[in-house]
Every structure is written in structure tokens, then in C-alpha cells.
A and B are shown apart, each in its own frame.
Chain A
Amino acid sequence: EPEVTQTPSHQVTQMGQEVILRCVPISNHLYFYWYRQILGQKVEFLVSFYNNEISEKSEIFDDQFSVERPDGSNFTLKIRSTKLEDSAMYFCASIRDRGRTGANVLTFGAGSRLTVL
């Protein structure tokens, strides 16, 4: 069964450093998402991406965050200057086609655990 692949599985970084989290969505999927989950808290929406641009973003997704799909397969989340409160699991997800309910199922990756020291 097709999977969403995320790397790295765990990254430890110093506060103020830049971090890039990578995702390879399912190949025929068109809509891409990043979510995060701080330990013990809810899964929170960060951003959605379609046709090479952001389609929706949350209040969490401020100027420190950016996303891109540099090569047609990878989908990356960059945190420019990490803060302690950015420590969380970051999940990438994708949907094949948002327009038809049968294809509106989110497929999530296993997540990247980010620890900011």
C-alpha cells in the first residue's frame, strides 16, 4: 500500500537553528499538508499546499515557517529559527483529490520528532 514517507524520524537541534523536515507524499496525490503535535496535545493543522502554493495556513504557521515542493516529489517544511516551543511531532499528509469525497482521505506519514534544546 502506498505510503507517505518522512525524514528524519528524529532531529535534535539547538534553539535558533534552521530545520528542514522532508516528506515524500504518495505519487499521484495533489494536496499536501503539515500538521504538528506537541507532546500530550492535539494534532494541529499547520498548512496545506496545492499547485505549488499555500492554499490554507493556521495562526501557528508564521513567518518562521515555510513550505515548498522543490522537485515534484519532495514536500518540505522549513523552520527558519527554531524555538523551544517548536519541539513536537510533525506529520506530513496528502490527499489525491480534494474535490471528490472518495478521495478526500488523508494519508499521514509516521512523523518527524523535532527536539529543540
Chain B
Amino acid sequence: DAKTTQPPSMDCAEGRAANLPCNHSTISGNEYVYWYRQIHSQGPQYIIHGLKNNETNEMASLIITEDRKSSTLILPHATLRDTAVYYCIVRVRGKSTFGDGTTLTVKP
């Protein structure tokens, strides 16, 4: 599985968009980008995934660059409940390897 790099922490004002970047420069052609988050010590929660097209669901949008070497998770209107650790994972199949993620703190 390709290695990912994320900033360790980010802040965001409540109601504003949170843009979380992820670098995955060694991603291979058939690897997908997945985003999960972990609120406090709860089980990780799936957010969104994509291959090369931008994706949107009820939780977030995922923007993948044309060369697929990086992506951005966008939470369009962050709330205090979005404070969590966000993990970017790339894989085809098999185990998902969690890195350190980005701790997003949404502030009032």
C-alpha cells in the first residue's frame, strides 16, 4: 500500500469549510484513496473514497489531483462534532494501514 503524508493538526472555525490535505505520491494506478475519521476513542468511521474522479457524499467531498499524487477532503460546513482525527489511506485490497492522521479541531 502506498504511504500517505498528512499534516499532524489543523484548526477550523465552526461553519467554515475544512480542507484536509493528503499526499500519496507513490500511489499506483489501481489504488483507491479512502478517508476515515476517529472521534475520540471510538471506532474509525468511513467518510468517502475515490479513484481519480472527485467524489461527494452527504458527509464530505474528495478532490483528487489529476496526477493522483495528492487529495483533499473537504468538510463543507464544519461543526464542533467534526473534531476528530482524520485518516487518509490508499490501498487496493487487503488490510488498511492507518498512519498518524490529521487532528482537526473545530473551534466556535
Contacts and interface: CB of A to CB of B under 8 A. Distances in A.
A109 B43 contact: yes
B42 A111 contact: yes
Nearest to B100: A42
Contact of B49 (A33, A101, A111, A113): A101
A75 interface: no
Interface in B86-101: 87, 91, 93-100
B74 interface: no
A23 B99 CA distance: 24
Interface stretch (A14-22, A43-51, A64-72, A76-84): A43-51
Contact of B95 (A56, A101, A111): A56
Interface in B64-104: 87, 91, 93-100
A58 B94 CA distance: 12
B44 interface: yes
A99 B95 CA distance: 13
A117 interface: no
A98 B51 CA distance: 16
A42 B99 CA distance: 6
B44 A48 contact: no
B interface, over-half SS: loop
A87 B58 CA distance: 36
A interface, over-half SS: strand
A105 B41 contact: no
A10 to B, nearest CB: 11
A24 to B, nearest CB: 14
Interface string A96-116: 001101001111111101000
Given A101-B51, A104-B32, A105-B34, A33 B95 contact: yes
B94 A106 contact: no
Given A45-B95, A104-B34, A108-B44, 5 more contacts: A48-B94, A48-B95, A89-B41, A104-B49, A106-B46
Interface of B: 32, 34, 36, 38, 41-46, 49, 51, 87, 91, 93-100
28 contacts: A35-B98, A37-B41, A43-B44, A43-B87, A43-B98, A44-B98, A45-B96, A45-B97, A45-B98, A48-B94, A48-B95, A55-B94, A56-B94, A89-B41, A93-B44, A98-B93, A99-B93, A104-B34, A104-B49, A104-B93, A105-B34, A105-B49, A106-B44, A108-B43, A108-B45, A110-B42, A111-B41, A111-B43
